[in-house]
Amino acid sequence: MQRSNIFDYKHYFYFKIAVVVILLAFAAYLIFEPTVGHYGGSWLGYVLGTLSAIMVLWMAWYGVRKRRYRGSGATQGWLSAHIYLGTALTVLVTLHSGFHFGLNVHTLAYGLLLVVVISGFFGNYTYMIYPRQMTENMGEDNLDGLLLRIAEADKLARQIALIMPDNINNTVARACSETSIGIGLLEQLRGYQPNCPTALAVEQLTLMGNDLSTEQRKPYRELYSIMVRRQSLVKRARQDLMYRSRLGFWLYFHVPFTIALLMAMIAHIVAVFFYW
Amino acid sequence: MKPEHFNIIIIGAGPSGLSAAVRASEQNVSYLLLEAEQAPASTIRNYLRGKLVMAEPRGLPLRSPLPFTAALRETVLETWEKTIADHNINVRYGAKVLDLHRATKWLEIELTDGTKLTADHVVLAIGVQGNLRKLEIPGGDLPQVQYQLDDPQAYQDETIVVIGGGDSGVENALALTGRNQVIILNRAEDFSNCKDSNLNQLTDARKRGALDWLLETKPQAIETNARGEFPITIFANTSNGVERIPCHRVIARLGALPSRPLLESFGVGFPTPDLAALPLLSTHYESNVPGLYIIGALAGYPLIKQGINQGYEVIEYILGNPVEPADTALLREKFANFCNDRGVDDVLEKIRKSVPLLAMLNTLQLRELVLESNILLPESGDIIFKRNDYSTTFFFIVEGELDVLIDEDNVPDATLKAGEFFGEMALISGRRRTGTVRARTSCVLIETPRRVMQKLIGSVQSMRRMLDEVAIKTAVHIGIGLSLSEKDLNDLATNATLKNYAAGEELFHEGDEADGLYLIQRGSVTVSRMIGGREVVLFYVAAGHYVGEMSLVSGEPRYGTVRAAIETQAVLIEAGRMRDIIARNPEIRSVLDARYMQHLQEQEKRQQMETMQDSSGSLNQQTTPSNLISFLIQQGVGEATDVLLIDESLCIRCNHCEQACADTHGGATRLDRDTGPIFANIRVPTSCRHCEHPHCMKDCPPDAIHRAPHGEVYIDDSCIGCGNCQVNCPYDVIQMAVVHDQPERSLWQMMLGIQPKSSPNIDGPKVAVKCDMCKDIADGPVCVRACPVGAALRVNPEALLSYASDASGEAALLGSDEV
Ligand SMILES: Cc1cc2nc3c(=O)[nH]c(=O)nc-3n(C[C@H](O)[C@H](O)[C@H](O)COP(=O)(O)OP(=O)(O)OC[C@H]3O[C@@H](n4cnc5c(N)ncnc54)[C@H](O)[C@@H]3O)c2cc1C
Ligand code: HEM
Ligand code: SF4
Ligand code: SF4
C-alpha cells in the first residue's frame, strides 16, 4: 500500500533537487581547481561554505517550523526536504572542507554534523519500519488500555491465589509486583526484562499444579490462564514501549548535537574570519 | 368533599411555572403551584454540580419578576428559592398531576395521591425532562431504588443492580464499575440499542470481570431484607426461571415517557402524528382545551429565558391584559432595514400574505420562524449561494425575482418569484447545493435555519406535503433531465413517490423485476451482488445520484441488491413511465446508455477482483475492496462529508496532530488519535465526520451548532454546555472542555520541543468542543499539515468510497490523492 510518504513526496521532488545539488557541487569541485588547492578558504570553498552554513540554519529551523501550527504548508513537505537536502548538505560540507581534517574547531564542527546526520539517518530508518510493526503488535488497543487490563488481571490473580498453596501464592504475588514494564530507557529500548517474573511464574505454575486438591483445580486452571494472558499483555506493552522509545530516542542525539553544531559552526566561522 | 378551587393552577415549578406563579402572586389572584418533586426546578437541579447555567438568547430581554442571569447552578437555585420565600409563593411539593380534563364549568385536576382540585385556568409547564419511567413493580418506590445517578463517586463497595440496557443505563453502570459490584438487567436479548462506544466498553468491562449482566430479564419485585449485609433483594424473571439478587441499591434507567401521550390524555390536540410535533397553541399559549395554557420547554421553547418570559405573559393573558411579547423588540430589530415604517404585526401580516407557505403557520409559529431567521436584502446580481456550497438554510422570497443556475453555463435554468421558496434540497439531503441562486432584481428574502424548518415540518402537515412535492420535482429536474419539457417534468413529478428506508433496508433485490428508477434524495446506498456465495458490495451511491437504471435499460431483472447504508429517502419513478420518457427523449436515452455501459465494465472488473482474491488466497481476503467499503460504512463514513483517517503504517505516534489541534483550538484536542477501529492499516480515529445530517444538531437548545459553506459542522460561542450534542453524536467525538488561550512558545521551546507550562488553574465554563475542520485557519486542517510523515489525511467519503470500490482497491484508495 503506497500513499505519498516522506520519500516520494511530490514525486521525489526534493530527492531530485538534492541530486542536482550534489552533482553541481561535484562538477564545480572537479572543474574548478583553485590555485590554492581545495580547501575552505578558496573561492569555491567560500561558496560551498556559505551555502552549507545557510542550509544548516535552515535544517535547524525545521524544529521550529514543525511546531508553528498556524503556519501554512504541510510539515510533511518540510521533512522530505529536510532529509534529502540534509544529505546533500553533508556532501557540500565535505567538499567544502577539501578533506583537510585535523584536531581543531573546524573538524569538531564537521564531526558534530556527522553525528547529527547519522542520527538523522537512524531516525529515518525507525520511521520506516516501526509504525507497521506497532500496528501489528497493538491492533486497536492502546498502551493505557493494556496497562489497565494488566492491573485487572493482577487483581483477579491475587484474589484467586489466596486460596492456593503458599508456593503458588508467592509466585503469583512476585510476578505481579516485580514485573517491570519499561522502567528506564535501557529496558525500554531493549523491550524485555531479563528473567521476567511473569514468564517465570507461568513456567513454574505448570509444574506446581500437580499436587492440588480437586476443588483447587478449577480455580488453578483459571489462575493459570490469567497468568498466561498477563504474560502476553506484558509482552505487548513492552514491545509498544520499545517501539516508541526507539522512534524517539535518536532525537536525544539529533537535537542536542544540532545545538552543539550551531555553536561549533559559529566558532568555526569566527575563527576563520578573525584568526586566519 | 368539594375539591379546592383556584383561579389559576400552575403545574410544574420549573423556571416557566415559577415565573408564572411569581407573577400571579404579584397580581394577587388566587393561584396554586404544583410540583411533583420535593423541591422546585428539578430539571435544573439535575444539571451537573457546578454547571454554569447560561442565559441565552443573549439579546432577549427578561421581563419577569423571577430573576435570572447566567450563573452557577447552585446560585440560580438559591436565588429562586429566595424568590419563592420572599413572595410567599403558594406551592405544593410532592404533588404530581395524574389527570386533567375539562368539566363544564372548570378544569379538574387529579394528583397521584388522589387529591382533586379545580381551576378556571391551568398553566401547564412540566417541561420535557420530568417524566422518568418508573418501575411498576412491588418495591419500585423503596428508598434504595433510584431513577437517576447524579454522582457515581458517591458509592463505594456496594452491589448495585442497574435495570435497563439503553445508553443511560449502560453509562451509569460503567461509571460505577471499579469501586462497586455492578449487574445490569436487560429486558432485550442484547445491547444493540446502545452506542458502539458504550457497547465496546461494556463488553470490555465484562471481559475484565468488572461487571456482569443478565439478558432477557425482567424485574418482578423488590423486597427489603431484615438482616444481613444487603438491605434489599430484587427478584427477576430470567429465561431460566426467577433469580434472586441481594444488593445494596437498584438504579433503574427505563427512559423517559414522551410527553405527547400524557398531553393527549388531557385532551390536547396535535397537528401531525409525528411524535416530535408540538401541541397546537394560540398566540396566547392556549391549547385547544379552553383554559389550558402550555408554556416553556413543553410548548417547544427550549431555553430558560424564553420559558420565564412566557410565564409572565401567560398570566397577563389570562387576566386579559394585553402585553407585547418580550421578543417583539427583537423582531423590530430584525425588521430594521425592511418596512421599518410599519408595526411588527403589520410586517408579519405582509410576509404571511406574500408567501403562501408561511400562511400555513399560526402567528406564534411565524414569529418564532422570523426570530430565528435572517432577513436578507440582496441587490440584483448578488449571489445567494453557489452550486456545491454546503449550507443548510432555507429561503422564502418575500419580494423580487431570482435566477437558478444548475449547470456550468451562465444561462439561468429556472426563475424563482416572490412567494416561492428555495433551498429545500439542502433540508432533505444535507449535501452540497445543486445549483447557484442569483438575484435578478433587488429582493427581500427570509433565510431560515434547517432546524427551525424541520421543527415546523414536523408540526405543519400541509407544509410538509408542499415541500415534498417541490422536492420531488427538483429531484427529477436535476436527476434526469434539464432537457425535459415542462409537461413531461410535471407528469413525472406528480406520479413519482417518496420512499423512506431505514439503515440496512433493501430498495430492491438482485433478480427482482425492475420497478423503476430510484433518485437518492438523502442518505446513501450500497449496491451488492452475490459472488461465490457471499454478498459483495460493489458500489456506494450517495444522495444526488440514482440507482436502478441498469435493468431499465436492459429490460433484464435487477442485476444487484441495493440497500440503504444509513437512513435513506428516495424518489421512485415507475418503470413504465420511465421507459416512455426514454423512448421519447433520445438525449436521456443516450445518457442512461452510457452509464449502463460504464457500470457494466466496472462491475466486470470488480467481480474479477473479488473472485481472484478469493481463490488465490495470496491477498488477504480481509482487504478486498468490498470489505473495506463495509468497514468504512460501519464507521459512519456513509453519512460523513469529511473524515480523518490515519495511515498506521506511516504514523510514528508523535502526537503532533493532537498537539497541533489543541494548540490552535484553546487547549483541547478534538481528535483522539489512538482510539478508533483499524482496518488494513487505516485507522478511523475518534474525530468528527461532519455528518450529512449531523445528529449533534438535533437537540441543541440555543441552536449553537451550524454548518459552514464548505461543510464544516461547528459549534459557536452560544453553547450553553448542556451536553445534548455529546450524547447525540453516535461517534463520540464531542467533549466538554474549558477553552482557554494557549501560551506562546519561545523559539527555543519550539526548536527543542519543550512544552510550555500551562497554567493549572483553568476554570471557566465547560462548553462542547469538536473538530471545526480548522475553518478559520488559512490552508486548512492543522492535524493533517502538522503530521511530519503524512500519515494523517482527510478525505471526502464520496471520493473515498469510489476509490475503495475502484478496481485497484486499496492501493487506489490512498495512492491517488496528493495531500
Ligand atoms: C443538561 C441541561 C443543561 C441545560 N442548560 C441550559 C442553560 O445553561 N441555559 C438555558 O437557558 N437552558 C438550559 N437547558 C434547557 C432548560 O433546562 C429548559 O429549557 C428549562 O428547564 C425548561 O423549563 P420548564 O419550566 O419549561 O420545564 P422544567 O424546567 O423541566 O420544569 C418542569 C417541572 O415540572 C415538574 N413536573 C413534571 N411533571 C409533573 C407533573 N406531572 N406534575 C407536577 N409537576 C411535574 C418537574 O418536576 C419540573 O420541576 C438545559 C437543559 C439540560 C437538560
Ligand atoms: C545539519 C544537519 C541537520 C540538522 C541541523 C538537523 C536538525 C533537526 C532538528 C532541529 C530537528 C527537529 C527535532 C525536533 O524538534 O523534534 C530534526 C528532525 C529530524 N531530522 Fe534532522 N537535522 C539535520 C540533518 C538530518 C538528516 C541528514 C536527516 C536524515 C537523513 C535528518 C532526519 C531528521 C528526522 C527524521 C527528523 C524528525 C522529524 C520529526 O519527527 O518531526 N536530519 N532535525
Ligand atoms: S459531532 Fe458527531 S454527529 Fe455531529 S457531525 Fe460530527 S460526527 Fe456527526
Ligand atoms: S502527526 Fe502523524 S505521525 Fe504523528 S501521531 Fe499524528 S498521524 Fe501519527
CA angle B456, B460, B466 (to 5 degrees): 100
Strands (E), B275-393: 292-294, 374-376, 383-385
Cell numbers for A265:
559552526
Cis check: omega of the bond before B57, within 30 degrees of 0: yes
CB B819 near ligand 4, within 6 Å: no
> Which residues lie across from B738 on neighbouring strands?
B766
Nearest to B724 by CA among B702, B705, B704, B699: B699
Nearest ligand atom owner, CA of B72: 1
Length of chain B: 819
Nearest ligand atom owner, CA of B685: 4
- Residue found by looking up cell 463495509 in the block: B630
Greatest distance between any 2 Cα atoms in chain A: 95
Contact between A35 and B817 (Cβ < 8 Å): no
Which candidate from B784, B788, B811 shows the least CB-CB separation from A79?
B788
A46 pLDDT above the threshold of 50: yes
> Which residues lie across from B531 on neighbouring strands?
B534
Q: Looking at the complex, does the CB of residue A76 fall below 8 Å from at least one CB of chain B?
A: yes
Mutation pick for ligand 4 pocket among B643, B648, B656, B681 (CB with most ligand atoms within 8 Å):
B656
Nearest to B802 by CA among B790, B789, B816, B792: B816
> Which residues lie across from A37 on neighbouring strands?
none
Work out the pLDDT band at A154, boundaries 50, 70, 90.
confident
Number of H helices, E strands in chain A: 10, 0
Mutation pick for ligand 4 pocket among B649, B651, B785 (CB with most ligand atoms within 8 Å):
B651
A272: closest CA of chain B, how far (Å): 27
ipTM of the complex: 0.89
- Residue found by looking up cell 430573576 in the block: B67
- Residue found by looking up cell 443516450 in the block: B590
Contact between A6 and B789 (Cβ < 8 Å): yes
For residue B336, what are the contacts with CB-CB under 8 A and spacing of at least 6? Answer: none
Contact between A76 and B657 (Cβ < 8 Å): no
Nearest to B22 by CA among B125, B128, B119: B125
Q: Looking at the complex, does the CB of residue B212 fall below 8 Å from at least one CB of chain A?
A: no
DSSP one-letter string for B563-591: EESSSEEEEEEEHHHHHHHHHH-HHHHHH
DSSP one-letter string for B518-557: EEEEESEEEEEEEETTEEEEEEEEETT-EE-HHHHHH-SS
Atom of ligand 1 nearest to the CA of B130: 37
3-class secondary structure, B337: helix
Nearest to B179 by CA among B160, B203, B207: B160
CB contact under 8 A, B753 and A255: yes
Kindly list the averaged pLDDT for each block of 10 residues, start to end, along chain B of length 819.
90 96 94 93 81 78 89 91 94 92 91 92 88 81 84 83 87 85 87 75 81 88 84 86 86 80 88 76 89 91 90 94 83 80 82 86 84 90 86 88 84 86 77 85 90 79 80 77 74 83 88 88 83 74 82 83 87 86 81 80 70 47 66 77 89 93 90 86 89 82 83 88 86 88 77 68 81 89 93 80 47 32
Q: What is the dihedral of CA B462, B463, B468, B474, to 10 degrees?
A: 130
Contact between A78 and A11 (Cβ < 8 Å): no
Higher pLDDT pick, A41 / B507: B507
> pTM above 0.80?
no
Chain B contact set for A152 (CB, 8 A): 208-210
Q: What is the pLDDT of residue A2?
A: 40
CB B124 near ligand 1, within 6 Å: no
Contact between B429 and B566 (Cβ < 8 Å): no
A275: closest CA of chain B, how far (Å): 30
CB B654 near ligand 4, within 6 Å: yes
User: Using one digit for the tens of pLDDT, what is the confidence trace for A162-207?
Assistant: 888 888 889 999 998 888 888 888 888 888 888 888 999 988 888 8
B44 CA distance to ligand 1 centroid (A)? 6
Cell numbers for B276:
416530535
> Which residues lie across from B182 on neighbouring strands?
B160, B211
Nearest to B480 by CA among B581, B602, B583: B581
Contact between B391 and B450 (Cβ < 8 Å): no
Can you tell me the distance from the alpha carbon of A179 to that of A191, in angstroms, rounded to the nearest whole number? 13
User: Using one digit for the tens of pLDDT, what is the confidence trace for A57-86?
Assistant: 999 999 888 888 887 788 999 999 999 999
Q: Looking at the complex, does the CB of residue A12 fall below 8 Å from at least one CB of chain B?
A: no
B681: closest CA of chain A, how far (Å): 7
The protein residue with its alpha carbon nearest to ligand 3, atom 6, reads: B688
Q: Looking at the complex, does the CB of residue A72 fall below 8 Å from at least one CB of chain B?
A: yes
Other CB atoms within a 10 A radius of the CB of residue B749 amount to 15
Half-sphere exposure of B566 (CA within 13 A, CB side): 23
Can you tell me the distance from the alpha carbon of B446 to that of B339, in angstroms, rounded to the nearest whole number? 14
Can you tell me the distance from the alpha carbon of B77 to that of B14, in angstroms, rounded to the nearest whole number? 10
Can you tell me the distance from the alpha carbon of B134 to that of B145, in angstroms, rounded to the nearest whole number? 10
| Chain B, nearest residue to A69 by Cα | B660
B354: closest CA of chain A, how far (Å): 49
| Chain A, nearest residue to B673 by Cα | A142
β-pairing verdict for B31-34 and B4-11: parallel
Q: With a CB-CB cutoff of 8 Å, which residues 625-654 of chain B face chain A?
A: 647-654
Can you tell me the distance from the alpha carbon of A84 to that of B657, in angstroms, rounded to the nearest whole number? 23
Contact between B162 and B185 (Cβ < 8 Å): yes
Can you tell me the distance from the alpha carbon of B225 to that of B223, in angstroms, rounded to the nearest whole number? 6
CB contact under 8 A, B787 and A76: yes
Mean pLDDT of chain A: 88
Nearest to B559 by CA among B510, B594, B626: B510
Cell numbers for B333:
430589530
Contact between B785 and B779 (Cβ < 8 Å): yes
Can you tell me the distance from the alpha carbon of B352 to that of B446, in angstroms, rounded to the nearest whole number? 12
Cell numbers for B68:
435570572
DSSP one-letter string for B695-719: GGGGG-TT--EEE-TBS-EEE-TT-
Cell numbers for A14:
526534493
- Residue found by looking up cell 524544529 in the block: A63
Higher pLDDT pick, B814 / A30: A30
- Cβ-Cβ pairs closer than 8 A, A with B, add up to 118
CB B110 near ligand 1, within 6 Å: no
Contact between B161 and B251 (Cβ < 8 Å): yes
Q: What is the pLDDT of residue B633?
A: 76
Q: Looking at the complex, does the CB of residue A235 fall below 8 Å from at least one CB of chain B?
A: no
Nearest to B474 by CA among B434, B438, B445, B437: B434
Work out the pLDDT band at A3, boundaries 50, 70, 90.
low
Which candidate from B649, B753, B818 shows the least CB-CB separation from A132?
B649
> Which residues lie across from B405 on neighbouring strands?
B436
Contact between B780 and B774 (Cβ < 8 Å): yes
Can you tell me the distance from the alpha carbon of B267 to that of B269, in angstroms, rounded to the nearest whole number? 6
